Amino acid sequence: MQKIKQIGCVILILCVLLQTKVVYADDIEEEEWQESEIQQIVVETAGETVDEPVINSRAAVIYDRETKQVLWGKKETEKRAMASTTKIMTAIVVLENANLSDVVTISKKAANTGGSCLHINTGDKITVLHLLYGLLLRSGNDTAVALAEHVGGNVEGFATLMNEKAKELNLENTHFVTPHGLDDENHYTTAYELALLTDYALENETFKNIVASKTATISINGVARELYNTNELLGNLNGVDGVKTGFTGNAGRCLVTSTTRNGKQIIVVVLGADTKKQRTQDSIKLIEYAFENFETIDLKTKIEKEFEKWKQMNQKRIYIYKAKNNQAELVLGSIEKETLSIVKGEENKIEIQFHCVYQYEAPVRENTKIGNIIVKYKEEIIEYIDIYLKNTIERKDIWSYIQEFLAVFP
């Protein structure tokens, strides 16, 4: 009998050990916070003066949506597991390939998916829109599979659509295997590319509205259910308006946050924090650092003003041999980067260099490139802009030479 008890204890211990290895995405039942706890962390962390942030997360990035710049990064191009931040791509693929009013019947596979769930059952009926709320607010792995089956036929087919979209967005270091983000060595992204994906996703109004929702009421089989967003910063930190949480054993604690203040919107990604509190603190530090230390300038206007000054001084220096009319008119090509995020007070570190060829032989056609502008910030090249000849300069013909001769000898 004693031996049987010992064997039973061993089996029980092995079961516990095996279970501890199974860590699901966004296991939100494990660590629920009170709003007061979150607000206390926000107050304590946001009140810190941050010159250069020091964070626990393994990888992170601050991305400016308007200027498309990385303002700060830590191993932002390193491939890492992304947990349920995967669902940003899941939502976009669904939004671009499904009708929001479609009614989905939940399969047994979807209903039995582990980890954080909406707790839908086999045979339940729910619209695509309400499944998206369950996906992005509750971080339901069951909703992820249900949507994948509805749009892609099955999880594998949907993963193909996810990877096609990643390729379309030039996410070269991103690969998807599942719609929910449970650990798989072939399922990965980088902090930087996750920011790019989020930037794209926020252009979709439905996605933008869902992730900005603190709560939502959905209907399953005609019965209302209230959902609460897992994003702890939403509603607790000034300007936060999305986006998505994530957690698995391999990925650690992850959070993608969108924040808008005074018209400036940034995306902060933290991957691989050890605890939920640390991912929250890291995100707050990076958000406050960005808004405290960076400003956006009107680069286009600055370039155009400098070009006008340069043109006034140099346009007449352009000499075209054998030309009927030697008056060249210059115009500036398109300016791609109209705004630029810079460290506050460092506008003097923007350098605008002009390069031009001053001698030509007629004829010279309009829109001929005659030079360019190189724009630098802190010695890094920001943009090349071409300078063109606006008008055609015709070559002298025989009558032009006769007229010149007659003008000399009237």
Q: Which of the residues are catalytic? A: 84, 87, 139
- With left for phi above 0 and alpha for psi between -120 and 50, is residue 211 left, alpha or beta? alpha
Structure tokens at 221: 């089989």
CA proximity to 239, closest of 216, 221, 257:
257
56 within 8 A of 37, measured Cβ to Cβ: no
CA geometry: angle 287, 194, 87, nearest 5 deg: 105
Structure tokens at 223: 């019965």
Query: Helix, strand or coil for residue 217?
Result: strand
127 within 8 A of 104, measured Cβ to Cβ: yes
340 forms beta bridges with 297
Distance CA 157, CA 165 (A): 13
Distance CA 267, CA 65 (A): 7
Distance CA 137, CA 126 (A): 16
Q: How many CB atoms lie within 10 A of CB 367?
A: 12
69 within 8 A of 340, measured Cβ to Cβ: yes
41-73 burial code (b ≥16 CB/10 A, e <16): bbeebbeeebeebebbbbbbbbbbbebebbbbb
Distance CA 184, CA 201 (A): 24
Distance CA 195, CA 339 (A): 19
- Give the sign of the dihedral formed by CA 332, CA 338, CA 344, CA 349: negative
Distance CA 173, CA 61 (A): 15
